[in-house]
Amino acid sequence: SQQGEEDPQALSIQEGENATMNCSYKTSINNLQWYRQNSGRGLVHLILIRSNEREKHSGRLRVTLDTSKKSSSLLITASRAADTASYFCATDATNAGKSTFGDGTTLTVKP
Amino acid sequence: GAVVSQHPSRVICKSGTSVKIECRSLDFQATTMFWYRQFPKQSLMLMATSNEGSKATYEQGVEKDKFLINHASLTLSTLTVTSAHPEDSSFYICSAQHPDTQYFGPGTRLTVL
């Protein structure tokens, strides 16, 4: 079964609004990463957050990690139509040597 | 940033033929690469871990004789879909590890007629 689960599965917002996506996982991890995928394309790496970090920022992106709750969130502020994509979290489980992807959140930003 | 390429980007083949997909790390060396399969509107499913100089590690349920993986150098891994059938039609994506981040290729759309 998938290690990570994202919610919501789909999110539709207006341009300029903030978008928040959540990811929950099951086992202990070394790090957690967020990726974006435009339809029919490869994945683009957004942010890596390590297990000893609680929050990271990159431009309009803010990622939090709560290892006690085994969850992470991705916040996109001041969203743009170009942010429309699917967003996946991937966990690098301790001693696993590989990443496992969640089901993804499909974000639609309406102009 | 690290760049990973895949070739071809699209391939259409007849049932029963074999198709080879290449994954290259362009500006770094990768001892470990990963191959994923993605169905429409679904997440990525890890097929196998490709290790340079050794045999690939396949995930449960993935037929190693059907999906042949060769990691011949630190910058190249290949996935060969042997005796392809229509149910093998999918989006195949590779990634390369560097050093603790996975960088993904653009994917290969395989259509088996």
Pairwise CA distance, residues B30 & B4, whole Å? 10
pLDDT tens-digit readout, B6-61:
999 999 999 999 999 999 999 999 989 999 999 888 888 999 998 888 889 999 99
Pairwise CA distance, residues B61 & B66, whole Å? 11
pLDDT tens-digit readout, A11-52:
999 999 999 999 999 888 888 999 999 987 888 889 999 999
* B35 has a chain A CB within 8 A of its CB: no
Does B85 have pLDDT greater than 50?
A: yes
Least CB–CB distance from A41: residue in B49, B95, B106: B106
* A24 has a chain B CB within 8 A of its CB: no
* B46 has a chain A CB within 8 A of its CB: yes
Least CB–CB distance from A45: residue in B36, B42, B103: B103
**Confidence at residue B39, expressed as pLDDT on a 0 to 100 scale:** 87
**Confidence at residue A102, expressed as pLDDT on a 0 to 100 scale:** 86
Residue position matching structure tokens 């690469």: B33
- Contact assignment for B101 to A43 by CB distance below 8 Å: no
* B105 has a chain A CB within 8 A of its CB: yes
Q: In what order do the strands lie in the sheet with B4-7?
A: B4-7, B19-25, B76-81, B67-73
Does A61 have pLDDT greater than 80?
A: yes
Greatest CA separation found in chain A? 44
